[in-house]
Structure 1
């Protein structure tokens, strides 16, 4: 029996936001070892789908930007979206190649939850985990509110009139008419939803990085707070020299583990 009998629930509650975000990207089984075979199969499909739509988006927008399909002003406007999708794919790539480091960090986090002995120390860790959740929620709300507004509302607000007898169907990113006939309503709806899904994938990549950082920083702060609580308790409580040395050894070991 581990000192903390509720460590499994505590770990799941701590990783809940990262779990949902990384599952969409198909990375969750790479960073969390305790996953089922079905979860791994679904992760493979999610991973392939995300890379396919991101590659499609990058290819179509690159063709539109660097060919004669667009004028110079449109080329300059498209440099921002191109840079965003490129760096999103780069972050996605680094999340994958560094998955062993993330898995090791999650193992250390799980061990810390297992080894917590006192209820007050567990309360400190829960308090800092809530701070990490608050930061994660802020990142998710900020990214999705701004990103989905750009993908769904802004194309219609920035729609320009066309003097020709052609229906203008607004899109967040031009260039999809290379592959899709946007004059057909079902095709336009599919392309519009595809762009929204691509946006969700890119939002998840950015928020995953932010949520992982927030979770690990909050957990490290919790470990430092526990060390400080041990030091304060050691100062307040009178004990023998042997007991004092044992308590100091525990504090030093905990401090070194927190710094790592």
Structure 2
């Protein structure tokens, strides 16, 4: 099979930089960028090592302190359940961070393929297709960044002051913190120490947000690029039947089209191979956190179940009717919804994930 002719794109360096811009900034913060992108300077590698060590230090400190608080006698059962969500989030964030490092060669390989595709653009129309799909990846990346940082920073900076109240009985000033357990190491009654601990929690949150958004932005960028390559293959196929050419040129165009399609399929397979562990971690972690939230909300339905199990038929008639009202109300427990459109349950989560997989495979 003939190889695709190399007609270099004069703007390929700028195109690659523009495509990777969001991934570059996010991965630099957590010190991963030099591992996945080969063309980095010595200063960038040194700064990346410092960022990498700092991020792992704060994440490990956060995990240790929250684990001690959650699994010891320092907290009551209600606080233990409340802390399982943040504890699980930091644990799964560290797992994703670990697999970003373990899979860095696969990420680098995908970026090399992407760079080569930009160098091999053969006409302006194909470049416009790639730019259009790259812009779609940028839109998804911006949405992930805005959504993650707005929600995450609000939880770290605003929610502590809204949810905690001073203990009037013991005449103690309660220092609001997003995550409990930091009083094990820090004396939060001292204002400078409290400010440092509060800022440390916010910085740890930023690190976790960057890990999540980095994974999402990498996936969005790779998938958008794969879709762009498939669109180019479709354009080539249409040209085969619209452009009149001799037999030799037709065979050459057909060979180039088939090879381009094979490259796009191999790149898609590389995406799946690169993200399989991270996607599993994301799915398991998100599901467990959703289950914890649903567990906290499902006690409304427990009221109806308990009311049904008692010997309500031995009660006076009017009292039994009151219990029936409680049972009926409890059949509709409080749920967390996405824009009041669908409930955030495991069933709907699985349905949405299945739809995304089917759409992506159909596109290819």
Q: TM-score, normalised by structure 1?
A: 0.99
1:122-133 aligned within 5 A: 122-133=127-138
* Corresponding position: 1:118 with 2:130: no
Match of 1:12 in 2: 17
Match of 1:228 in 2: 234
Query: Which one of 175, 178, 181 corresponds to residue 172 of structure 1?
Result: 178
* Corresponding position: 1:138 with 2:123: no
State how far apart, in whole Å, the 1-side matches of 2:41 and 2:7 are.
Answer: 23
Shift of residue 241, structure 1, vs aligned partner? 1.0
State how far apart, in whole Å, the 1-side matches of 2:211 and 2:113 are.
Answer: 23
Computing the radius of gyration from Cα coordinates, the structure with the larger value is: 2
State how far apart, in whole Å, the 1-side matches of 2:170 and 2:21 are.
Answer: 52
* Corresponding position: 1:101 with 2:116: no
State whether residues 93 and 212 of structure 2, in contact with CA within 8 Å, keep that contact through their aligned partners in structure 1.
yes
Cα deviation, 1:103-135, whole Å, max 9, x if unaligned, reads 000000000000102000000000000000000
State how far apart, in whole Å, the 2-side matches of 1:71 and 1:26 are.
Answer: 38
1:24-103 aligned within 5 A: 24-103=29-108
Q: Which has the higher contact order (CA 8 A, sep 6+)?
A: 1
- Pair 1:2–1:193, CA change in 2 (3 A): farther
1:203-218 aligned within 5 A: 203-218=209-224
Match of 2:83, SS state, is helix
Unaligned runs of 5+ in 2: 1-5, 267-364
1:154-169 aligned within 5 A: 154-162=159-167, 163-169=169-175
Q: Could you say what the CA RMSD is over the residues aligned between the two structures, in angstroms?
A: 0.9
State how far apart, in whole Å, the 2-side matches of 1:137 and 1:182 are.
Answer: 36
Cα deviation, 1:26-59, whole Å, max 9, x if unaligned, reads 0000000000000000000000000000000000
Q: TM-score, normalised by structure 2?
A: 0.71
Unaligned runs of 5+ in 1: none
Match of 2:173, SS state, is coil
State how far apart, in whole Å, the 2-side matches of 1:21 and 1:232 are.
Answer: 39
1:174-213 aligned within 5 A: 174-213=180-219
State how far apart, in whole Å, the 1-side matches of 2:30 and 2:12 are.
Answer: 26
Cα deviation, 1:38-93, whole Å, max 9, x if unaligned, reads 00000000000000000000000011111111111101111111110000000000
Shift of residue 196, structure 1, vs aligned partner? 0.4
State how far apart, in whole Å, the 2-side matches of 1:2 and 1:178 are.
Answer: 63
Match of 1:3, SS state, is coil
Shift of residue 2, structure 1, vs aligned partner? 5.5
Shift of residue 161, structure 1, vs aligned partner? 2.9
Match of 1:69, SS state, is coil
Aligned residues: 260
State whether residues 134 and 224 of structure 2, in contact with CA within 8 Å, keep that contact through their aligned partners in structure 1.
yes
